[in-house]
């Protein structure tokens, strides 16, 4: 049994617990993965694999989502991309209403090829859960400390998270002002 299928099984059984706390999520994932009888890695090795993922050259991933009812994976209902550890991204989808069977499709060493393939697959298969279907997706990068430092005091950026733009006259974005 692969690490991906082990963790996917765990997420499906423990969704409510995972929604409450990211720390609880990490702890539960490590405990579940490391105690699983077919686990090929130790807890430390698994944690290291998550950290090392950021350093991979081919971390740009296109993945496909299939309905859990479709055991032969014949109809694609979601096409996505990520530079995160795939299990982190798939867990995010599962707690936000896309409880699908996800499969890695292809890896790339740059974002342009990844986004091009995603758009081609969306045009070809017309997956029902994809929202943006008429144009290529934007590529969201992890912000560096320098970029965040430059945004401090700049009125066009939320001064709480420094990650989202705000409308003129506002200081905080919609998410931070809740």
List the domains of the chain with CATH numbers.
1-53 (no CATH), 56-142 (3.40.1440), 143-178 (no CATH)
pLDDT tens by residue, 55-101 = 777 888 999 999 888 778 788 999 999 887 777 777 778 778 787 88
Q: State the SS3 of 8-74.
A: HHHHHHCHHHHHHCHHHHHHHHHHHHHHCCCCCCCHHHHHHHHHHHHHCCCCEEEEEEECCCCCCCC
Question: What is the model's pLDDT at position 79?
Answer: 94
pLDDT at residue 168 is higher than 90: no
């Amino acid at each position: 049994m692969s690490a991906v299928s082990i963790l996917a099984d765990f997420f499906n059984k423990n969704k409510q617990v995972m929604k409450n706390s990211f720390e609880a999520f990490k702890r539960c994932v490590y405990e579940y993965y490391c105690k699983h009888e077919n686990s090929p890695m130790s807890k430390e090795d698994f944690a290291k694999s998550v950290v090392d993922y950021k350093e991979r050259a081919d971390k740009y991933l296109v993945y496909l989502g299939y309905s859990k009812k479709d055991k032969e994976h014949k109809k694609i209902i979601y096409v996505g991309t990520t530079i995160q550890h795939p299990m982190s991204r798939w867990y995010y989808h599962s707690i936000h209403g896309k409880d699908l069977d996800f499969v890695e499709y292809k890896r790339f060493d740059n974002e342009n090829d990844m986004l091009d393939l995603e758009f081609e697959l969306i045009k070809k298969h017309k997956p029902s859960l994809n929202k943006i279907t008429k144009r290529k997706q934007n590529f969201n990068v992890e912000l560096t400390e320098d970029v965040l430092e430059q945004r401090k005091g700049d009125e066009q950026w939320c001064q709480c998270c420094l990650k989202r733009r705000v409308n003129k006259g506002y200081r905080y974005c919609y998410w931070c002002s809740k």
